[in-house]
Amino acid sequence: MPNRIWLRRAGDLAAIAVPTLIFAFAPSFEGNTLLLVNMMVYVALAQGVNVIYGFTGYLPFGYVGFFGAGAYGTYIAVAHLHVGALVAVILGGLFSVVVAIILIPLLRLQGAYFAIASLAAALVLSALIGNPDLKSITNGPYGADLSKIYSVNGSYYAGVVLVAFALIVVVFLQRSRFGLSLRAIRADQTSASMAGINVVLMRSIAWLLSAAIAGFAGAVYAWALSVFYPDAVFATTISLFAIVFALFGGVGSTLGPVIGAVVLYEVYNSIGVSQPQYFQLIYGALIVAVAMFLPGGLASLVGPRWRQWVTKRFGRNPGEPLPAGDV
Amino acid sequence: MPRIMFLYALIAGILLGFFYALMSLGLNLGFGVLQVVNIAHGDIVVLGAYIAYELSSKAHLNPLLGMLLAVPPAVILGLLIYYAIAPALGKSADPEMLSLILFFGISQVIEALETVVFGNNQKTISASSFGSGPVHILGQAIPREYVLAALVSIPVIALVFYYLYRSRLGLATRALMSSRDDAMAVGINVGRTSAISFGIALGLAASAGALSNFILGGTNPTQGVDITTTAFAVIIIGALGSPAGTLVGGLVYGLTFQFAQTYAPSWANLVPYLLLLIVMLVKPTGLVGKRVRYA
């Protein structure tokens, strides 16, 4: 039924355009652009976790490694290659993809093994980059200075593009054959492989996409901060926040992680900055509650009702992709 | 001179190895019975450290007595956590991922509560109640804390081995660790045995806390993640689900760390994580393990 297909296309377009446009025009309502940049960075990171965890089932505790790699890739590009801001941000994101290629063997591990191994890899990367012996390349623990390319507007709109990029990737996964393959692998690896899906290749591509999102997020963050230290871009809390935001919003959905990130980052901003321990208490308890009682996150409250309404209004569509599995 | 450095690293590494084995034993026990990696393990170690600290600084108890008193609350906490999450895990289609996320949340809650109750500052217990100055072993001046940690860890580890290999409940626990279904089939009360083992696992973690105060140079709430990762490295190096493997893992870890610190100090912090990655990717069964067990 053409109606149904057009409705879905319009919905996908809106899912990409609405959050992007809201962020594009947000500076007219909110004067604190650094706050907005942080929020966009976390929206992207939550989507990055969504890509790798929501579609393949790998929970990366060390996700921050890609973020830090993106930030430092940008610094290295500016300090040693003397390139302009945009090229530096792109190289930063690509540096993170290179790191992800090196770490592909981690995908041989599963579950908690993978989660903790990825954390170990991020800590190794952080210790490498912050090592005083590598001062000539990364400036070690003494911090990276990007003031040469500083630009409030530039970094802000790079953040808007970042949000759009993350959303496009997720919508692509929701609708494409590739995304369907990933979900098939997640549901049953053996059967998927029997059906002719190249399990290793598909997974690796999802891993690289997820790393690219985190890498660009790190690059944008670095550009906006201008001066930063290894501890700031490799903080374990960045991984934790991204995972919590994604789970709270609902992994496997398109807009869940966006809403999760915006809502929880707002909560963090109002109480977490001055009293981080209370925010940690809230999100810790929230995660236990979500895992026990609402495994699909916020999105599972809305999603089924929306689908029901569409079905009632426009009729059933046999081509509807499989709903994402629960957490 | 290099010979002397070598001897120092060897002795200090072995002594610390026993401490690391104790610190990780609980994580392995909990994994063995529940097939769950307790991400909150490190936070329980920190909790034990705080209890010992409070008892020694406020009530002027010997830190080792504080160590004993830290165990019962941790055991009770273990039982509570087990009974709170076991029904949900039993019903879940993917209990492994659910438990990972649940323990991740629990870990954050414990860490936050530790910050609220004990504050953010680094707390240290003075080891002066055990005498001062280094201990001389084979002509090497070894920090007194290292010797103390080993002297305390060895009997506690021995006690756990005695429990596992000589008591009836220990036998049931080991049966459960090797096959949950078979254990159930021969009439072992799986729920109760798991609960008790999980309680003991957390008790062990808390007991290591009193010592971590000396060995890790103090206690603060954010240490939990590092301790969990280190303990995970130790039990992976040994073998998941094998208590004897943990002892091997602890010693390998202690020695590697000491040698790295002696010969390449600026890279020593990388050791636990590199070791973890290498063992996981090259020999996921661990050094003494016979088969792969998926978490």
pLDDT in tens for each of the 295 residues of chain B? 567 788 888 988 999 999 999 999 999 888 888 777 888 999 999 999 998 888 888 877 787 788 888 899 999 999 999 998 888 887 877 787 888 889 989 999 999 998 888 887 777 776 666 667 777 788 778 888 888 889 889 999 999 999 888 888 888 888 888 777 788 888 888 888 888 989 999 999 999 988 888 888 778 888 888 898 889 888 888 877 788 889 999 999 999 988 888 888 878 878 878 888 888 888 777 666 655 444 3
Residues of chain A with Cβ-Cβ distance to B93 below 8 Å are 325-326
pLDDT in tens, A25-77: 988 887 788 899 999 999 999 999 999 999 998 999 999 999 999 999 999 99
* Res A254 pLDDT > 70: yes
pLDDT in tens, A83-103: 888 999 999 999 999 999 999
CA trace torsion A245, A251, A256, A261 (10° rounding): 10
- Residue found by looking up tokens 């936050």 in the block: B112
Q: What is the mean pLDDT of chain A?
A: 87
Q: What is the ipTM of this complex?
A: 0.82
Q: Which of B98, B111, B225 sits opposite A327 (nearest CB)?
A: B98
Residue type, B123: K
- Residue found by looking up tokens 């369907």 in the block: A180
More confident residue, A93 or A269: A93
CA trace torsion A242, A244, A250, A251 (10° rounding): 50
Determine, for residues A59 and B116 on separate chains, whether the beta-carbon distance falls below 8 Å. Answer: no
Mean pLDDT of the A284-292 span:
88
Q: How confident is the model at residue A150 (pLDDT cuts 50, 70, 90)?
A: confident
What pLDDT shows up at residue A318?
A: 45
* Res A320 pLDDT > 60: no
- Residue found by looking up tokens 């072993």 in the block: B137
What pLDDT shows up at residue B290?
A: 56
DSSP bridge pairs for A145 = A227
Distance in Å, alpha carbon of B120 to nearest chain A alpha carbon: 9
What pLDDT shows up at residue A177?
A: 92
What pLDDT shows up at residue A101?
A: 96
pLDDT in tens, A116-135: 899 999 999 998 998 888 88
What pLDDT shows up at residue A206?
A: 95
Which B residues in the span 237-276 are in contact with A, Cβ-Cβ below 8 Å? 266-267, 269-270, 272-274, 276
Q: What is the DSSP letter of B139?
A: T
Find out whether A293 and B60 touch, Cβ atoms under 8 Å.
no
Determine, for residues A108 and B281 on separate chains, whether the beta-carbon distance falls below 8 Å. Answer: yes
Find out whether A216 and A94 touch, Cβ atoms under 8 Å.
no
What pLDDT shows up at residue B94?
A: 78
Which A residues in the span 118-157 are in contact with B, Cβ-Cβ below 8 Å? 119-121, 123-124, 127-128, 131-133
Residue type, A144: A
More confident residue, A221 or A188: A221
Phi-psi region of B187 (alpha: psi -120 to 50; beta: other; left: phi over 0): left
- Residue found by looking up tokens 């140079």 in the block: B217
More confident residue, A177 or B285: A177
What percent of chain A clears pLDDT 90, i.e. is strictly above it? Answer: 47
Q: DSSP readout, A72-121?
A: HHHHHHHHHS---HHHHHHHHHHHHHHHHHHTGGGGGS-HHHHHHHHHHH
Which B residues in the span 14-53 are in contact with A, Cβ-Cβ below 8 Å? 36-37, 39
Q: Which of A109, A117, A284 sits opposite B108 (nearest CB)?
A: A284
> d(Cα B133, Cα B14) in Å, to the nearest integer?
20
Is the CB of residue A274 less than 8 Å away from at least one CB of chain B? no
> d(Cα B185, Cα B187) in Å, to the nearest integer?
5
